[in-house]
A and B are shown apart, each in its own frame.
Chain A
Amino acid sequence: MSKKVVVICGTGVCTSTVVMGKLKAFLQEKGLNVNLTQSKVSDVMNRASDYDLIISTTAVPSTIGTKVINAVPVLTGVGKEKFFAELEAALKE
């Protein structure tokens, strides 16, 4: 069963769009089958348990039980290798 991953940012429009694009390319390259959706922080707050993994460009409250990976490295390029390594590991769990 493929993992349910959601990509979020504050507004659900700008930075999450960039991250979605990079993520899709990465997943395709690695041949990873993932259920990928895009949203914003406020929508996901109440539904965090719907997802296996949250990729966010903004800070997510630590009270959320679902695993969160910070995606700012994907935007800025600083530390993006580590991000993709962490992502791949989380998907293979």
Chain B
Amino acid sequence: MHGLLTPEHLLVLNQPCDRIGVLQRLGALLVKSGTVEQAYVDAVVAREGEYPTGLEIGEINVAIPHANTTSVCRSGIALGIVKPGVKFCSMAEPDKEILVQVVILLAAQKSELQLHVLEQIMEFIQDQGRLQTMLEAADEQELYTRLTQHLALGERQG
């Protein structure tokens, strides 16, 4: 996972932002780096409307928006922290709105975003303490530092 997360794919939002706004902004980071085409971002927004990706896991909730593998040039992840929270719908109960503070936009080329990377992401979000540490980052650089610290820790223990 470490390799897929780069500083230019991180976003820290201190101001409120709506769901589509967050998805577009995270998507723009991946388009800028050549990871995906704009069509992928549009697909993610459309998919979110149909099959929401909000995960209600505790005090800090997470969303894992993603779409089909077309228009993905290479695998990548964009991670955004929205401090005031943004409304997503729950994956398990699509009519239910939940407040999400961590949004992980996934772009997978089927063969590349391997099971272990996905599992690492799922593992990562299960620790509320870790999510809290991410939320305390003041800006993207600090977020990156905190993320790599935690991931390195995870790798040493794992």
Interface residues of A (CB under 8 A from B): 9-11, 13-15, 17-18, 20-21, 41, 57-59, 70, 72, 75-78
Asked if A78 contacts B51 (CB within 8 A), the reply is no
Contact with A along B49-82 (1 / 0, CB 8 A): 0110101111000001011110000000000000
Q: Does B148 contact A (CB under 8 A)?
A: no
Q: Which of B25-69 contact A (CB under 8 A)?
A: 47, 50-51, 53, 55-58, 64, 66-69
Q: Does B7 contact A (CB under 8 A)?
A: no
What are 6 A-B pairs with beta-carbon distances under 8 A?
Answer: A13-B66, A13-B68, A14-B108, A59-B91, A59-B92, A78-B57
| Pick from A18, A58, A72: contact of B118, CB under 8 Å | A18
Asked if B51 contacts A14 (CB within 8 A), the reply is no
| Pick from B67, B91, B115, B126: contact of A17, CB under 8 Å | B115
